[in-house]
């Protein structure tokens, strides 16, 4: 066998190229990235000058669901669904680790146009959180959702919260408004949760604080603490909707 000195360098360079190409082609960790995307969406919406979720409502919320980039076209053909994150207020006023959820089917009102839409839902009492934690809960059936108000604090103070305690918002093509969400099925994505936490976990354990948040949750939990008033442990989150 004849060995040419330059062969070693050629092989080494080839190995570097192959390794670099494999690294670029490696799949992204979508469950982790979705948490960061949810934080970005919420930050952008709450940074708007006027069309934001009123702080008076955020202060009272017991849970929030953020679905970045929900695709309406997919619902028309019935083959797609949106994925997002669900966090709940704990008894000490802090926030739970995020749970990945899937939302499938249903109608989202005329305010949600074609293409991608960001969807946010606020659970305004503990009953709403418990309903949303159930596997396969149907919004518009098991729990009703109403379009939430946007704007200044004064307007939110006089806005009645529905008995179901669920408010919905959407942002499409730069327009942020209250949304109607009917007939949609919500369920936890157990595979994505296992990818985030490194083991199989129940959504109820995540949302009640039994599962600790990972470092990937820090951007989301940080932005929630910034925009929500932190309730002291002596003042637990409200159980009932305002009358």
Residue at token pair 């680790």: 97
Q: How many CA atoms lie within 13 A of 93 on its CB side?
A: 11
Residue 87 is predicted with a pLDDT of 97
pLDDT, tens digit, 9 for 90 and up, residues 20-74: 443 344 356 889 999 999 999 999 888 877 778 888 788 888 999 999 977 654 4
**Domain spans, the chain:** 30-227
* Runs of H (alpha helix) within 26-174: 30-46, 55-60, 72-77, 126-133, 153-157
| Mean pLDDT on 188-199 | 95
Categorize the per-residue pLDDT at 142 as very low, low, confident or very high, splitting at 50, 70 and 90: confident
| Mean pLDDT on 170-175 | 74
Residue 136 is predicted with a pLDDT of 85
**Residues near 48 by Cβ (< 8 Å), separated by ≥ 6?**
176
**Residues near 114 by Cβ (< 8 Å), separated by ≥ 6?**
72, 73
The encoded tokens of residue 6 equal: 């330059």
Q: Above pLDDT 70, what percent of the chain?
A: 68
Q: Does the pLDDT at position 126 exceed 60? A: yes
Q: Does the pLDDT at position 129 exceed 90? A: yes
The distance from CA 223 to its chain's CA centroid, rounded to whole angstroms, is 13
DSSP-derived secondary structure letter, 91: T
| Mean pLDDT on 186-205 | 95
| Mean pLDDT on 64-85 | 68
DSSP-derived secondary structure letter, 46: H
Contact 42, 223 (CB under 8 A): yes
Count helices and strands in the chain by DSSP H and E runs = 9, 9
Q: Could you tell me the pTM of the whole model?
A: 0.77
């Amino acid at each position: 066998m004849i060995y040419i000195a330059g062969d070693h360098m050629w092989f080494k360079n080839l190995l570097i190229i192959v390794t670099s190409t494999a690294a670029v082609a490696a799949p992204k960790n979508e469950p982790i990235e979705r948490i960061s995307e949810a934080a970005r969406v919420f930050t952008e919406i709450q940074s708007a000058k006027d069309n934001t979720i009123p702080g008076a409502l955020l202060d009272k919320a017991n849970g929030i669901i953020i679905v970045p980039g929900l695709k309406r076209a997919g619902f028309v053909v019935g083959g797609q669904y949106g994925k997002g994150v669900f966090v709940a207020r704990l008894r000490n006023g802090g926030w739970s680790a995020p749970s990945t959820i899937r939302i499938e089917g249903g109608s989202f009102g005329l305010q949600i146009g074609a293409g991608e839409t960001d969807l946010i839902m606020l659970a305004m009492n503990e009953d709403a959180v418990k309903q949303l934690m159930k596997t396969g809960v149907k919004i518009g059936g098991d729990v009703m959702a109403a379009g939430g108000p946007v704007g200044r604090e004064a307007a939110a103070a006089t806005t009645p919260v529905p008995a179901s305690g669920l408010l919905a918002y959407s942002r499409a093509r730069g327009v942020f408004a209250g949304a109607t969400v009917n007939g949609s099925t919500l369920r936890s994505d157990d595979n994505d949760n296992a990818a985030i936490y490194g083991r199989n976990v129940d959504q109820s354990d995540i949302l009640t604080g039994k599962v600790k948040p990972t470092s990937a949750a820090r951007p989301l939990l940080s932005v929630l603490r910034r925009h929500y008033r932190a309730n002291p442990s002596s003042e637990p989150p409200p159980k009932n909707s305002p009358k």
